[in-house]
């Protein structure tokens, strides 16, 4: 007996066409059904789903709403209507649909997942995370939810949780480039360079012609100190795209670290030919020029650093000093970079004072007591309460303002002095006469939250164990000048009997200066203590990384900035052993005499 319902055959035809992917024909068939039976719930439901499938939410919404009015409380219908409403920006209505669907079917993973995505889009990260975690409890085979959870936890400052979610997503989609990229970048941000490198090596296999993959792999190799391999990756990227600006800039910076400053300057020029105002290229070229002693152009380009890394300073409304007469004027010099930079360039306060300025220096609190004791500085403060000055200038702009060349560097030392009170406080510590005293610093500030700075610190810092050959020399007393996390290496190495450690009683750089005043030599990696010893006029031997900081002029043995400094540069990247051997040999060839 034939079916008496005239819509039945039409529905079968429509469903069959829909299943075959013949969308236009299926739509027409569903419309035929609805022309015959306007309140056909299944036809409305399926036609609404079809419109969702082809991204026509505006047409899907009335179909789904009518179907829902005929068959209320259907979780799947509510979920689909929520999707359609969400795509049209009707977020509150979509939210109600998802919540109602979940209320009817608490384990409906699809609706929970969609609700999580809506919360995520609205910035409600806690609610979104709750939804996705619940969704994954119901259906663990959902890599998209793991990825979104990774994104959420990263935004919430929980990198370990984010990494775990990305890794789970990769277990389900092991070769997914976007997930690999997210995980690789996050691992790099967390200083887990070796793991990030492995991820990007996989990416390079999947996308060998992707410029960004080679760029990121080069950056990671640079983080790990494998400079030659980093250069290989940058070259591979440029072979694919010779005008890739980011690659040109990163490669030029790497050439500086490889002690190839002339090539670096030319590479920066190639980048600047593409974009003459590219901040990283302008600032990077300044370092390549300064490294070669080209101070005329180097200082000029160094002024572009604030375009690269903006920093308004403590008194932005006070006019920048551009060389106007300073007689009777109040000048603020403010520290913009590291402690060592302030210690090195605060020497220019004397020149400003000689021009008639009353000089105030704004700096880190650890420096205020020391700098405040300088005759040419009226005050040294950590915070500017009343920015009532005639002029202000960042400390690193002073060499440019004074037109400094190698021949005109103000190198008279000392220009910093220990106060009588600090001298009296520390004198009892050094009453015992005898062997020459040597102060040691083996590590800088790791700055782990600053990826590039941390990578540079890994190149400039060594461990206390590297000093063991030096510590075997008889006839010397060694003193620890190391602060921070690396100070713990003293106990870990079991060298307390060989190295005296006064640093537990050190409050600031005035205390460190008072200790150094009682020493005969300081041996230090390239950190603030080098500049402190040099500013005090004390002999200081600098252990400098390969392709060292621009101020050491490619690790020339003598420094035009500090007459009492001697530079011991690495002969190969990462090779501290030969550097320490050279220091040890220098002490053996010309034994140090106590000079107090």
Q: Is 38 helix (H, G, I), strand (E, B) or coil?
A: coil
* Residue 450 in this model has a pLDDT that exceeds 90: no
How do residues 191-236 score in pLDDT, each as one tens digit? 899 999 999 999 999 999 999 999 999 999 998 889 999 999 999 9
* Residue 402 in this model has a pLDDT that exceeds 90: yes
pLDDT for 423 = 96
Residues 6+ apart with CB under 8 A from 179: 143, 147, 166, 169, 170, 173
**Cβ neighbours of 520 (radius 10 Å):** 18
CA 338 to chain CA mean position, Å: 16
314 neighbors 332 (Cβ within 8 angstroms): yes
Distance CA 251, CA 236 (A): 11
Distance CA 573, CA 226 (A): 8
Helix axes 261-274, 245-257, angle to 10 degrees: 170
Alpha-helical regions (H) of 190-324:
193-206, 211-223, 227-240, 245-257, 261-274, 279-291, 295-302, 305-308
Q: What is the mean pLDDT of residues 175-203?
A: 95
Q: Mean pLDDT for the chain?
A: 92
Distance CA 582, CA 361 (A): 38
pLDDT for 493 = 85
191 neighbors 451 (Cβ within 8 angstroms): yes
Radius of gyration of the chain (CA): 34
Distance CA 137, CA 108 (A): 11
* Residue 1 in this model has a pLDDT that exceeds 60: no
- For residue 522, list its beta bridge partners: 439, 540
pLDDT for 200 = 96
pLDDT for 365 = 97
Residue 354's alpha-carbon distances to 162, 325, 360, in angstroms, are 57, 11, 14
**Cβ neighbours of 431 (radius 10 Å):** 7
Strand arrangement of the beta sheet that strand 358-362 belongs to:
379-381, 358-362, 330-334, 391-394
* Residue 172 in this model has a pLDDT that exceeds 90: yes
- Percentage with pLDDT > 90 across the chain: 77
Q: What is the mean pLDDT of residues 288-317?
A: 93
Residue of 342, 322, 291 lying closest to 400 (CA atoms): 322
Helix (H) or strand (E) holding 16: helix 6-19
Q: What is the mean pLDDT of residues 140-158?
A: 96
Distance CA 255, CA 555 (A): 15
Place 8 in a pLDDT band, splitting at 50, 70 and 90: confident
- Percentage with pLDDT > 70 across the chain: 97
330's tokens: 């109040």
Residue of 303, 338, 342, 299 lying closest to 320 (CA atoms): 303
Q: What is the mean pLDDT of residues 391-407?
A: 97
In the DSSP assignment, the letter for residue 316 is T
How do residues 361-382 score in pLDDT, each as one tens digit? 999 999 999 999 999 999 999 9
Place 592 in a pLDDT band, splitting at 50, 70 and 90: confident
* Residue 448 in this model has a pLDDT that exceeds 60: no
Q: Would you mind telling me the total number of residues written for the chain in this entry? A: 596
How do residues 425-437 score in pLDDT, each as one tens digit? 999 999 877 899 9
Distance CA 332, CA 536 (A): 23
Distance CA 198, CA 184 (A): 8
Range in 14-23, 318-327, 529-538, 540-549 with the lowest mean pLDDT: 14-23
Global confidence as pTM: 0.83
Distance CA 487, CA 577 (A): 20
Q: Is 263 helix (H, G, I), strand (E, B) or coil?
A: helix
**Cβ neighbours of 492 (radius 10 Å):** 10
Q: Which residue carries 């440029």 as its tokens?
A: 238
Cα distance from N-terminal residue to C-terminal residue, the chain: 119
**Cβ neighbours of 586 (radius 10 Å):** 15
Strands 477-480 and 391-394: what pairing?
A: unpaired
* Residue 388 in this model has a pLDDT that exceeds 80: yes
Distance CA 355, CA 326 (A): 6
571's tokens: 């002969």
Place 470 in a pLDDT band, splitting at 50, 70 and 90: very high
Q: What is the mean pLDDT of residues 521-542?
A: 97
């Amino acid at each position: 007996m034939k079916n008496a319902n005239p819509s039945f055959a039409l529905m079968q035809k429509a469903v069959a066409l829909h299943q075959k992917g013949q969308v236009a024909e299926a739509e027409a068939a569903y419309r035929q059904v609805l022309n015959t039976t306007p309140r056909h719930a299944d036809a409305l439901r399926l036609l609404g789903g079809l419109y969702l499938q082809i991204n026509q939410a505006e047409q899907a919404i009335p179909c789904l709403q009518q179907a829902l009015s005929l068959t209320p409380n259907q979780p799947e219908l509510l979920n689909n209507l929520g999707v359609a409403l969400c795509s049209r920006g009707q977020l509150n209505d979509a939210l109600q649909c998802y919540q109602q669907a979940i209320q009817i079917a608490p384990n409906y993973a699809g609706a929970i997942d969609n609700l999580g995505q809506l919360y995520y889009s609205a910035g409600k990260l806690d609610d979104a995370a709750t939804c996705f975690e619940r969704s994954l409890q119901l259906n663990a085979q959902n890599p998209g939810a793991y990825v979104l959870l990774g994104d959420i936890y990263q935004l919430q400052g929980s990198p370990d949780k984010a990494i775990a979610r990305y890794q789970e997503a990769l277990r389900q989609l092991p070769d997914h480039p976007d997930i690999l990229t997210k995980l690789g970048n996050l691992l790099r941000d967390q200083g887990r360079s070796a793991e990030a490198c492995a991820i990007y090596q996989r990416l390079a296999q999947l996308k060998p012609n992707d410029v960004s993959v080679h760029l990121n792999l080069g950056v990671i190799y640079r983080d790990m100190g494998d400079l030659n391999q980093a250069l290989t990756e940058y070259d591979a990227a440029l072979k694919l795209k010779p005008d890739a600006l980011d690659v040109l800039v990163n490669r030029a910076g790497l050439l500086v670290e490889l002690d190839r400053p002339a090539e670096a300057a030319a590479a920066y020029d190639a980048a600047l030919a593409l974009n003459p105002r590219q901040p990283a290229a302008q600032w990077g070229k300044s370092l390549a020029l300064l490294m070669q002693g080209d101070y005329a152009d180097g200082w000029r380009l160094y002024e572009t650093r604030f375009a690269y890394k903006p920093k308004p300073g403590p008194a932005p409304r006070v006019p920048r000093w551009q060389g106007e007469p300073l007689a009777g004027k109040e000048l603020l010099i403010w520290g913009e970079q590291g402690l060592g930079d302030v210690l090195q360039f605060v020497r220019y306060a004397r020149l400003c004072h000689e021009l008639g300025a009353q000089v105030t220096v704004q700096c880190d609190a650890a420096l205020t007591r020391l700098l405040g004791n300088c005759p040419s500085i009226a005050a040294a403060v950590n915070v500017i309460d009343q920015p009532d000055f005639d002029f202000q200038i960042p400390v690193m702009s002073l060499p440019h303002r004074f037109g400094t060349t190698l021949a005109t560097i103000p190198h008279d030392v000392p220009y910093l002095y220990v106060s009588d009170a600090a001298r009296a406080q520390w004198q009892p510590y050094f009453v015992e006469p005898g062997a020459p005293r040597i102060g040691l610093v083996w590590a800088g500030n790791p700055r782990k939250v600053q990826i590039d700075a941390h990578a540079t610190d890994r190149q400039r810092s060594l461990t206390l164990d590297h000093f063991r050959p030096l510590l075997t020399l008889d006839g010397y007393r060694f003193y620890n000048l190391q602060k921070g996390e690396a100070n713990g290496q003293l106990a870990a190495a079991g060298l307390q009997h060989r190295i005296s450690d006064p640093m537990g009683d050190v409050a600031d750089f005035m205390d460190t200066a008072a200790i150094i005043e009682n020493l005969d030599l300081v041996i230090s990696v390239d950190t603030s203590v080098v500049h402190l010893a040099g500013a005090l006029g004390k002999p200081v031997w600098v252990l400098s990384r390969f392709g060292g900081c621009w101020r050491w002029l490619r690790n020339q043995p003598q420094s035009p900035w500090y007459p009492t400094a001697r530079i011991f540069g690495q002969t190969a990247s990462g090779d501290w052993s030969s550097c320490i051997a050279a220091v040890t040999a220098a002490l053996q060839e010309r034994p140090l005499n106590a000079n107090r």
